[in-house]
Chain A
């Protein structure tokens, strides 16, 4: 791993880098951005280290991109680096979303604005469904994983069980089975 203490970014620099990434990201593709920034351009992390972080970020709960920000921040700047990176990823984008929400609220008196938002939502649901179908396609074609996927859907939609208990129950069973099979 390229490791020169002098090159390490300060927490402020980490905050600014992640602010920029957060504010220019629309609908995914972020990890590619981070790879380019931290591994290829600045050479602050090795590719292997980055990919380890990515698999943890995806395996653990939490938004993948903020998980990844914490992983990178922690590797490069310890606790303050992790906090700065997390804040950079979340706070500027949070301010922007509230501003956009406010702008929409101020035109919510017009019926057309609700119609337009509904059309936008219908198209945006495509993002969610496409991601769900892609994730479903990556589930191994074996009885147990497919049953886990179906059971999760049924627990949430048909039985209306709270998601936390669904995940803790079905999720830990599924993880335990994969652990024993590996």
Chain B
């Protein structure tokens, strides 16, 4: 039994918690951009956190269920409707065979997660069901879902109707958004003034913001410490001898617009990176809409680890609340 895609939405993909272990071959981790929200959706419907769901961006899909299931929508405020009737977000509800799940217009955030009891049961590719569209790997034939697709559903016990995640356990970016950054990597290539500007300026999310990376605009251009470019790097001061990129790292091609690399990022390349958004804040990046004002906040390793611990504690509270 399956879910029939009547309308795919904008770029709806099958995602789970990702595909670690293949980065050295250029295959990124992929998985949910907001992994906390996918975890919450899964737990609401009685799935393990690792089950695959759908990640919808900006515009929800229209889905016809071919069998009964429990469903939950988390993440962005993309109001669900069942046969046209509103249903609450962050709350489990029953869907009967033949009913159609659709969505109202997006109110806040960027990515909503749709979990169904039993999970989306597309085949595993290198240990994960996540879609990596650039490499045509995972999900529905390596691409976003399309009208007419039949999404296979796994078997799952389902969960009680009406279970909900308390508002204190929902995590979304503020406005302006704040992303904590640990400076490092090739930080030393930029001038002290450029480093200060980066943290002082207010940036805005550019329209080029997707699963590969989020570009930011509006801050002052970067200046570089004078130096002779090393052999093999290329002549622009933002060029380096091609190396690995880090999940969350911030590159600035040409020294103008910082790009935060995300789940489907290229694994390496020849642009310098100035540091990385800390792991605890990566979920927030995927919920930023274009034009959202954003500040980068400088932190040290100790603060990064404290934030990581805090996020882990919140996930533990989520498990406690929904088990």
Is chain B a partner of chain A in the same complex? no
B residues neighboring A (CB under 8 Å):
none
A residues neighboring B (CB under 8 Å):
none
